[in-house]
Structure 1
């Protein structure tokens, strides 16, 4: 029996035809996604669901979707899909992460021109019958310095286009290596230097705890007087109220915003300012981009439903059905090892080396590598997945190497990840025990046996008496309960580490109090996605 797909948002007829040509039965009901009750009523009939942003795939919808195997999002954002609930139901969630990159980059460039030459205001003035030629004095982009915050896929395209306009480009990106920056033709700088040098600033980073308000009131004050700021990435990256004040004072000469902290944006401090160009989140809104992502999602969903092939999945590795049963625990281990290193590393990564020992060395290492790289990069980019992570690593000049070796220790199999930065190497090893649970077995060359918990605390110190008491007392005074404790040391009186399992994340005051004791070299809260 042919698989059946529901298209509940507007997709091109060409994309719908792809399903039919591939032998997939399809119902094209582009307005159904807006009717939650009707969607609940019919979703149980379908093996696949193709959507854009209007359809909300909630836990309630997933509970009613008794046959559903795959959700395909035509576009990158999956905020409208409850991914944890989908994973629990065994439903694959796919997106099309690169289909609208060029379109979004071009919109940023267009906004730069519009702000530099005051095009919307000049157009409105001329339409009203005025001829205010002397009112609209613009600036050239030629020979100006463009500061690009985030030099990944979209940011990299913006860099390329800006160089074509003969701009000088400086880029801030924690994962951009010097070698990759040189190959791109840009200068890698720290954020403060970018703020001080740039005539134009454009943002191309995801919204995370680290990037939220990256252009805060404080950082806006560090910018060059007369700077122009473009945001076509995510709302919340810029303090809109502080930027409005800087625009009114003249410190910032202009701004172009396609995204806002609250959307749909019916009001904003940036509205009604003459030196601001605003658009209603049009970054991906071109005929070509909408067609590209629609065609891609139709191909990906058809491939999965007909052959089992998985592409651009956010909650499943790209492996065959036969491999998945055996590799599942090792994929989870790779993600945990990567997540540990990603959360511990604050400087650009030059290389990732992954060692596979014993039986794991015979598995699908491409998928395990992807899981490890995704784990590392999720610390700064929560949108990354196992398919996009290797591509992003390559774009940023990160060298990924893999080593296989026969069983060489007490474990039948283990894997070890080492990251190399400009100043150091950091490594962690793990294995999967017979109970199917991943374990950390070595950190900093120190042997341990640690399960992985959702909320953990990692500390390093000199091996001296009283450390356990200090940890227990300080956390207890802050109301933090320790569920479990794992210790390791390189030798008596030498380097020692501790991994604590906490019932909930440690508050900042607890971390500050631990630091104030003066006995810890490193104190790092860690979070892991555990079932």
Structure 2
């Protein structure tokens, strides 16, 4: 009988579901807070069910010799080292949609609290002061609500804002004009949102691109007296800059449910009159807690008993019967999406996925989900194989699938083509007998390139000396090249190069390459594949 540890406070429903499904479960809701005690016992369990208090670090994962699955009751997986889990073959699951409405409603509640100074007015009145003239609020109606991140939660907030007769503007790189029209919002660039919004609410995941997105520079662009709401991730706002903006009056008020460091027992925002602070309550309703507890228990039990995979971060939904044949092509599809997602900066409007030969007979739904997850993961860190198609649909991106009989030298391959308003880009790949993904065509230029964990992609005109030029720059900067792959459309035409590297390509050297007139573009790439031996 598989054994699961519940190390955070979950609904009792979760414990009963495990038992009903034939899983032995230990409910120790405070154990996740004690790193050493958790580390001492983790090797006894096949599954770990957590919320946010438990930190599934690389050290913990390496000590978990029996662990097969980690289930996160909620959407955020910041507290799980996913690469470490993947390397150990541990599936990481979450419940991406169980608390969306609850979090959106909390953001709206905080917006009202800011507009009418409800916490301060409540404290004053209960103290017997009756300071009616002190608490002069503002109306919501007719104000401009700026939504940063218009995915699952952000779109709910946007529609609620429209219902409140606000003028809603939204910034989201993946939001299409069509989807914005459906929601009744105006799609804008970030700078435009900052300048126009009376209220700004954040609903974007934490990535390298979004960390500190609201900082001193952003505050300087905002209206005087703007009000800020953050129910997403603490690190999206630079707290020290927010404190200064509040003190100066640039920001009229802030409602914060998440903090850079949690639990937040001390914070410079605490004690400020124009700040409403709550202890990460976005998902804290009885309905949401019950939903995510039920979902994570069902998903983990189904995997441990039946081998079924649902809502996995690092593996698509695949039945036990089709897994052996499909697995290498799932990784291929993800890698193709990841390539395009990393090199495409403009909003994507269309995605076409071509399955040729043997791949056309596979579970293409899982392959499409894997490709879409790889495609948008550079922007949406919490995406998984199940939620990716929904997130793509929400953003109005059109996805089409083409299947055809074998048409070339390969038994089967996948070709991914994306379109933006400015360009079209395609990449194709296959898997050889070793099961490893390979690139076979980029920009309709044929090549044969093994996929590496760290790569560099360059484009240039086909002229003599390019190999030597790239090699010289890399050698001068201590960059070791494991493999070097080239392709061109015709002599003297467009050429590409893919360098397989031992380590991430230094950012400073990228600029050095871009400064060379011979190099048209240079892009460092990272793929979730095993490093070279």
Instruction: Give the alignment's TM-score, normalised by structure 1.
Output: 0.95
Superposed CA deviations along residues 298-335 of structure 1, whole A, max 9, x for unmatched, are 11122223322211111222111222111121111111
Superposed CA deviations along residues 106-153 of structure 1, whole A, max 9, x for unmatched, are 111111111111111111211222111111111011010101010000
Name the counterpart of 1:154: 153
- Aligned ranges 1:74-85 → 2 under 5 Å: 74-85=73-84
Q: Say if 2:463 is the partner of 1:467.
A: no
Q: For 1:321, what is the secondary structure of its paired residue?
A: coil
Name the counterpart of 1:476: 475
Name the counterpart of 2:517: 518
* Distance in 2 (alpha carbons) for counterparts of 1:406 and 1:150: 40
- Aligned ranges 1:308-347 → 2 under 5 Å: 308-347=307-346
Q: Structure 1's 59 and 255: CA in aligned 2 closer, same or farther, altered over 3 A?
A: closer
Deviation, structure 1 residue 45 = 4.4
Q: Structure 1's 106 and 446: CA in aligned 2 closer, same or farther, altered over 3 A?
A: same
Q: Say if 2:234 is the partner of 1:220.
A: no
- Aligned ranges 1:236-255 → 2 under 5 Å: 236-255=235-254
Tell me whether 149-158 or 86-95 shows the greater mean CA deviation. 86-95
Superposed CA deviations along residues 459-506 of structure 1, whole A, max 9, x for unmatched, are 111112222222222233333222221111111111111111222222
Q: Structure 1's 480 and 69: CA in aligned 2 closer, same or farther, altered over 3 A?
A: closer
* Distance in 1 (alpha carbons) for counterparts of 2:216 and 2:391: 30
RMSD between aligned residues: 1.8
Q: For 1:379, what is the secondary structure of its paired residue?
A: coil
* Distance in 2 (alpha carbons) for counterparts of 1:266 and 1:44: 32
Superposed CA deviations along residues 416-467 of structure 1, whole A, max 9, x for unmatched, are 0011111211110001112221110111111111111122111111112222
Q: Structure 1's 196 and 31: CA in aligned 2 closer, same or farther, altered over 3 A?
A: closer
Tell me whether 168-177 or 265-274 shows the greater mean CA deviation. 265-274
Name the counterpart of 1:109: 108
Name the counterpart of 2:124: 125
Name the counterpart of 2:361: 362
Aligned residues: 530
- Aligned ranges 1:139-218 → 2 under 5 Å: 139-218=138-217
C-alpha contact (below 8 Å) 1:478/1:509 kept by paired residues: no
C-alpha contact (below 8 Å) 1:428/1:442 kept by paired residues: yes
Deviation, structure 1 residue 63 = 4.9
* Distance in 2 (alpha carbons) for counterparts of 1:264 and 1:60: 22
Name the counterpart of 1:307: 306
* Distance in 2 (alpha carbons) for counterparts of 1:372 and 1:317: 10
Q: Say if 2:491 is the partner of 1:488.
A: no
* Distance in 1 (alpha carbons) for counterparts of 2:59 and 2:228: 41
* Distance in 2 (alpha carbons) for counterparts of 1:70 and 1:512: 41
Tell me whether 432-441 or 332-341 shows the greater mean CA deviation. 432-441
Runs (5+) with no aligned partner, structure 1: none
* Distance in 2 (alpha carbons) for counterparts of 1:325 and 1:50: 27
Deviation, structure 1 residue 71 = 2.3
Q: For 2:96, what is the secondary structure of its paired residue?
A: coil
Q: Structure 1's 379 and 56: CA in aligned 2 closer, same or farther, altered over 3 A?
A: closer
Deviation, structure 1 residue 4 = 3.4
C-alpha contact (below 8 Å) 1:72/1:95 kept by paired residues: yes
Q: Say if 2:72 is the partner of 1:73.
A: yes
* Distance in 2 (alpha carbons) for counterparts of 1:490 and 1:376: 25
Q: Structure 1's 419 and 153: CA in aligned 2 closer, same or farther, altered over 3 A?
A: same
Tell me whether 232-241 or 362-371 shows the greater mean CA deviation. 232-241
* Distance in 1 (alpha carbons) for counterparts of 2:278 and 2:485: 52
* Distance in 2 (alpha carbons) for counterparts of 1:60 and 1:276: 37
* Distance in 2 (alpha carbons) for counterparts of 1:79 and 1:213: 16
C-alpha contact (below 8 Å) 1:244/1:269 kept by paired residues: yes
